[in-house]
C-alpha cells in the first residue's frame, strides 16, 4: 500500500524535476500505460509464468522459486490484519494456510532461502515521509527466519549505528550465513550485521556499512523514468551460490561470486545487465530452481493482476545493444545526476515549490507598493477625496467642492461669476446660496450661467436627480417644476 503512494509521488517528482533540469527521459523511456482494472500492462516485458488469482497476494515485494511453485510476501499487512507469507503452486494459486508473523512485520520487502530451506524475510522498509512513511526513522529493522516445517517466523532485530532513516528493499545472504542489506534510499548502501543475530531481542544488533552499489542510467522504459533506473527494489542468490542479482524498477544486475564473497562481488565486480522493461511495478526477483532464468513479480493495487514473469539473463550495454560488459563506476566517478537519491530529488522539488511561493508573494507586495505610490503621487483630491480650493478663490467659503473620482469637481476659478461646474462622476458638488442670488443679480440669475454655484445645494451631473434648492439641473434627472417659458426643466426661477 505504502509503495503505491511512494510510486505516485515519485512519478510526480520525476516529472517536475525533469522539467526543471531539462533532463526529461527520452520518449523510449516513457512508461506503458497500465489498465485501471484487470491485468496490468507488461508490454515489452518477459514471458508470463502465471498470474496470481487472489487479491490477497498482489503487492508482491519478495519471491522465491521452489520445485512446486513459489513463496511470496506482500509489502504490507491488510487493514486490521497481520502480514503473511504465502505459498503458491505452479499456476500461482494460493495453497495451504498463509503463515502469520508474531508480532506482525512492519514493512517486509524481500525474501530469500538458504541451503537448509530456511526462509529469510527482510522487514527492512522504512519509506520516506514524501513516499507515505513517517518522519521518524525506525529504531530497528528486522530479518525474520522461518525454518522448514516451522509454524511461525522468528524476529532478529538490526539497527543502523547513526539512527538515520534508511529505506531498503533488497537483501542477499552472504557466505557466512548473515544477511546483506542494500538500501533504496540513500541509493546503494551495503550493510551487514557486526556480529551474530540475536533472536527475539528488543535491542537490535548494530549494522555496519561495507560498501556501495551504483545502478546506472540504462534508459530502460519503466513507470518512474530515470528514477526507476536507480531505485533498488530486490535481490537474489542463485541456487548454487555462484551468482547474485540485484534489481531496480527497470533492470537486473548479475554478478559472479568468487569464494562466497558476495560483498566483494556487488561492490567491486562488473555486472551483466538484463533489461526488465515496462514491468508494472517491479519489486521482486529470484532465480529459477535450475538457476538459468530470472523470475520477477510486481507490487500492484488490489484491482489489478500482474503476472509473474521470466527472463533469460543477458549482457547488454545500456542504449548500445547487447554484448558488452559494463563496469560499475566508483562513487567519485559518478555524475551529479547519478549521485542523486530519491530524497535529494524530493528536496529539490520542494525547494522549487518554496521558491515559486516566494516569487508570488514578492509579486503581490510589489503590486501593492506600486498602487500605493501612484495614489501618493496623485494626491488626495482625485482619488476618493477632497481637492483643495484654487489659490485666490473668493467664492463662497462653503462651496462643498470635492474630488474628481467618486466626488464632485472643485471650483475652477478665482473670479466670482465664472463657471464652477458641479461634480462630474457619481457625486454632487453642492453650493450654498449667496445673498445676491436671492435678488437675481446679473451673472447669477437663472439661465445666465451653467450651474456649479447656484442658490441652494447643487446636485451632481451624472446619474443623480436634482435635489431641493432654488435651482436644479442634472443629467438623467428632472428639474424642479418652474414657470412656463423655457424654465420647465434644468433651470427653474427662484420662488
How far is the CA of 467 from the CAs of 216, 363, 464, in angstroms? 86, 46, 9
**Mean pLDDT of the 343-360 span:** 70
Task: With cut-offs at 50, 70 and 90, classify the pLDDT of residue 458.
Answer: very low
What is residue 378's predicted lDDT score, i.e. its pLDDT?
61
Q: Say if residue 18's pLDDT is above 60.
A: no
98-102, 223-227, 264-268, 475-479: which has the minimum mean pLDDT?
Answer: 475-479
For the residues 182-189, what does the mean pLDDT come to? 95
Whether the per-residue pLDDT at 302 is higher than 80: the answer is no
The per-residue pLDDT for 102 is 87
User: CA 281, 285, 286 angle in degrees (round to 5)?
Assistant: 160
DSSP three-state, residue 13 = helix
Q: Which residues have C-beta within 8 Å of that of residue 391, sequence separation ≥ 6?
A: 414
Select the more confidently predicted residue: 451 or 94: 94
How far is CA 428 from its chain centroid? 57
With cut-offs at 50, 70 and 90, classify the pLDDT of residue 337.
Answer: low
Residue 178 grid coordinates: 548473515
Please name the residues in contact with 60: beta carbons below 8 A apart, sequence gap of 6 or more. 52, 72, 73, 74, 75, 283, 284, 297, 298, 299, 306, 308
Question: What are the CA-CA distances from residue 412 to residues 215, 390, 395, 425 (Å)?
Answer: 82, 7, 10, 16
Quick one: pLDDT at residue 277?
A: 95
In the prediction, which pLDDT does 344 show? 57
Within 10 angstroms of residue 331's Cβ, the number of other Cβ atoms is 11
- Give burial (CB, 10 Å; 0-12/13-18/19+) of 101: buried
Q: How many CB atoms lie under 10 A from the CB of residue 436? A: 14
Residue 402 has a pLDDT of: 43
CA distance 20 to 3: 25
Q: Which comes out higher in pLDDT, residue 324 or 76?
A: 76
What's the mean pLDDT in 263-270? 97
How is residue 248 written as a grid cell? 531496480
CA distance 54 to 71: 14
- Asked if residues 181 and 190 have their Cβ atoms less than 8 Å apart, the reply is yes
Percent of the chain, pLDDT > 70? 60
Q: How confident is the model at residue 420 (pLDDT cuts 50, 70, 90)?
A: very low
What is the per-residue pLDDT for 160?
A: 98
Q: For residue 151, which of 96, 109, 72 has the smallest C-alpha distance?
A: 96
Residue 150 is placed in which grid cell?
Answer: 516451522
| More confidently predicted of 429 and 147 | 147
Contact predicate 189/182, CB 8 Å: yes
Bridge partners, 179 (sequence order)? 173
Cβ atoms of 23 and 15 closer than 8 Å: no
Q: Does residue 205 sit in helix, strand or coil?
A: strand
The pLDDT score that the predictor gives to residue 288 is 98
Does residue 179 sit in helix, strand or coil? strand
Give first-to-last CA distance, the chain, whole Å: 90
Q: Compute CA distances 379 → 375, 376, 384, whole Å.
A: 6, 5, 10
Three-class SS state of 434: coil
Decide if 158 contacts 168 (C-beta within 8 A): no
What Å distances lie between residue 362 and 140, 316, 351, 369, 374, CA to CA? 45, 51, 16, 11, 18
Residue 349: pLDDT band (50, 70, 90) is: low
- Overall size of the chain counted in residues: 495
Closest CA to 191 of 199, 200, 202, 183: 183
Q: pLDDT-derived band of residue 350, with 50, 70 and 90 as boundaries? A: low
pLDDT of residue 340: 53
CA atoms within 13 A on the CB side of 438: 4
CA distance 408 to 402: 5
Phi, psi of 74 (to 5 degrees): -85, 160
d(CA 170, CA 181): 6
Residue 103 pLDDT > 80? yes
What is the grid cell recorded at 438?
A: 436671492
Task: Write down the pLDDT at residue 321.
Answer: 44
The whole-number average pLDDT for the span 448-463 is: 43
Domains and CATH numbers, the chain: 2-340 (2.120.10), 379-495 (no CATH)
- Asked whether the CA dihedral 414, 415, 419, 420 is positive or negative, the reply is positive
Amino acid at each position: 500500500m505504502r509503495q503505491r503512494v511512494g510510486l505516485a509521488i515519485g512519478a510526480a517528482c520525476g516529472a517536475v524535476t525533469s522539467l526543471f533540469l531539462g533532463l526529461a527521459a527520452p520518449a523510449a523511456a516513457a512508461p506503458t500505460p497500465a489498465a485501471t482494472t484487470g491485468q496490468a500492462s507488461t508490454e515489452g516485458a518477459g514471458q508470463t509464468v502465471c498470474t496470481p488469482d487472489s487479491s490477497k497476494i498482489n503487492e508482491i515485494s519478495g519471491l522465491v522459486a521452489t520445485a512446486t511453485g513459489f513463496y511470496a510476501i506482500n509489502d504490507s499487512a491488510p487493514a486490521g490484519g497481520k502480514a503473511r507469507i504465502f505459498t503458491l503452486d505452479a499456476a500461482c494459486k494460493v495453497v495451504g494456510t498463509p503463515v502469520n508473523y508474531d508480532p506482525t512485520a512492519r514493512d517486509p520487502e524481500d525474501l530469500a532461502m538458504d541451503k537448509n530451506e530456511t526462509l529469510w524475510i527482510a522487514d527492512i522498509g522504512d519509506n520516506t515521509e514524501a513516499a507515505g512513511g513517517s518522519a521518524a526513522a525506525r529504531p530497528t529493522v528486522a530479518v525474520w527466519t522461518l525454518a522448514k516445517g516451522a509454524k511461525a517466523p522468528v524476529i532478529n532485530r538490526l539497527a543502523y549505528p547513526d539512527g538515520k532513516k534508511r529505506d531498503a528493499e533488497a537483501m542477499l545472504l552472504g557466505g557466512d550465513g548473515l544477511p546483506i542489506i542494500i538500501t533504496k534510499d540513500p541509493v546503494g548502501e551495503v550493510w551487514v550485521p557486526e556480529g551474530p543475530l540475536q533472536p527475539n531481542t528488543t535491542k537490535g544488533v548494530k549494522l555496519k556499512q561495507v560498501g556501495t552499489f551504483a545502478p546506472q542510467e540504462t534508459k530502460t522504459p519503466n513507470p518512474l523514468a530515470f528514477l526507476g533506473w536507480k531505485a533498488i527494489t530486490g535481490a537474489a542468490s542463485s541456487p548454487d551460490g555462484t551468482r547474485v542479482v540485484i534489481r531496480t524498477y527497470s533492470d537486473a544486475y548479475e554478478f559472479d561470486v568468487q569464494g562466497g564473497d558476495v560483498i566483494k562481488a556487488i561492490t567491486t565486480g562488473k555486472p551483466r545487465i538484463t533489461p526488465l522493461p515496462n514491468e508494472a511495478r517491479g519489486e521482486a526477483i529470484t532465480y529459477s530452481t535450475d538457476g538459468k532464468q530470472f523470475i520477477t513479480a510486481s507490487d500492484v493495487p488490489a484491482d489489478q493482476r500482474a503476472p509473474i514473469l521470466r527472463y533469460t539473463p543477458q549482457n547488454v550495454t545500456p542504449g548500445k545493444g547487447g554484448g558488452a560488459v559494463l563496469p560499475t563506476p566508483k562513487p567519485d566517478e559518478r555524475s551529479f545526476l547519478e549521485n542523486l537519491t530519491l530524497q535529494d530529488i524530493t528536496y529539490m522539488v520542494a525547494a522549487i515549490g518554496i521558491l515559486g511561493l516566494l516569487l508570488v508573494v514578492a509579486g503581490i507586495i510589489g503590486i501593492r507598493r506600486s498602487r500605493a505610490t501612484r495614489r501618493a503621487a496623485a494626491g488626495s483630491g482625485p482619488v476618493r477625496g477632497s481637492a483643495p480650493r484654487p489659490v485666490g478663490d473668493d467664492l463662497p467659503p462653503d462651496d462643498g467642492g470635492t474630488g474628481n473620482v467618486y466626488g464632485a469637481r472643485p471650483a475652477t476659478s478665482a473670479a466670482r461669476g465664472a463657471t464652477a461646474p458641479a461634480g462630474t462622476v457619481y457625486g454632487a458638488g453642492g453650493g450654498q446660496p449667496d445673498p445676491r442670488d436671492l435678488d437675481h443679480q446679473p451673472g447669477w440669475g437663472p439661465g445666465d450661467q451653467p450651474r456649479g454655484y447656484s442658490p441652494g445645494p447643487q446636485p451632481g451631473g451624472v446619474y443623480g436627480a436634482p435635489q431641493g434648492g432654488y435651482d436644479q439641473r442634472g443629467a438623467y434627472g428632472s428639474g424642479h417644476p418652474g414657470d412656463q417659458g423655457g424654465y420647465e426643466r434644468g433651470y427653474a426661477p427662484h420662488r
